[in-house]
Amino acid sequence: MIGLTLLVRRELRLAFRGGTDAMMGVIFFVLAAILFPFGVGPDAAILPRIGGGIIWVALLAALLSLERMFAADHEDGSLDLLYLSPVSLGQLALAKAIAHWLTSGVLLLIASPVLALLYNLPSSAFLPLVATMALGTPTLSLV
C-alpha cells in the first residue's frame, strides 16, 4: 500500500509540473458541451431532456489525456525503471489511473453541474448526474 501511495504522489507531482495537460481535457469538455446546442437548436423543450446525455457524450473528452498516462514515462525511460521496481505492474497502472482521475476526472466532475445549469436541467436531475459522473469518470480513467 505504501508503494501505491508513493506512486500516486509521484504521478501527481509530475502532472502538476506538466502544467495545463489536465485543463485541456476540461476545456474541450466544456466547449463540446457548449457547442452542442448550436447543432441541435436552442429549443427550450429539447435541451433539458437531452442535456444529461450531451454532458455524458462530452465526457469522452477525458479519453484525450489517457494516451499521455504512460507516454512520458516511456520516452524518458522511467517506465523501464518502474517495471524493475518491487511494485507490481497492477499497482503501477492503478496509481496512474488514480492520479489521472484526480487531475482530470475531478475537474470534469466539478464542471458537470455547471453545464447542467446551462442546459436548464431540473434540479432533481443534478444528484443522479453527479452520482453517475462520480462513477463514470474513474471508470474512464481505468480504461
DSSP the chain: -HHHHHHHHHHHHHHHHH-SHHHHHHHHHHHHHHHHHHHH---TTTHHHHHHHHHHHHGGGGGGGTTHHHHHHHHHSHHHHHHHSSS-HHHHHHHHHHHHIIIIIHHHHHHHHHHHHHTT--GGGHHHHHHHHHHHHHHHHH-
Q: State the pLDDT at residue 19.
A: 64
Q: State the pLDDT at residue 18.
A: 67
95: left (phi over 0), alpha (psi -120 to 50) or beta: alpha
Q: Which residues contact 107 (CB under 8 A, 6 or more apart)?
A: 22, 23, 25, 26
Per-residue pLDDT tens digits for 35-84: 888 888 777 788 888 888 888 887 777 777 777 777 778 888 888 888 88
The pLDDT > 90 percentage for the chain reads: 3
Query: In which band, very low, low, confident or very high, does the pLDDT at 96 lie, cut at 50, 70 and 90?
Result: confident
Q: Select from 143, 5, 26, 14 the least CA-distant residue to 75.
A: 14
* Cell reading at 121: 436541467
Mean pLDDT check: name the lowest of 70-74, 113-117, 120-124.
Answer: 70-74
On average, the pLDDT of the chain sits at: 83
Q: State the pLDDT at residue 55.
A: 85
Per-residue pLDDT tens digits for 25-34: 788 888 888 8
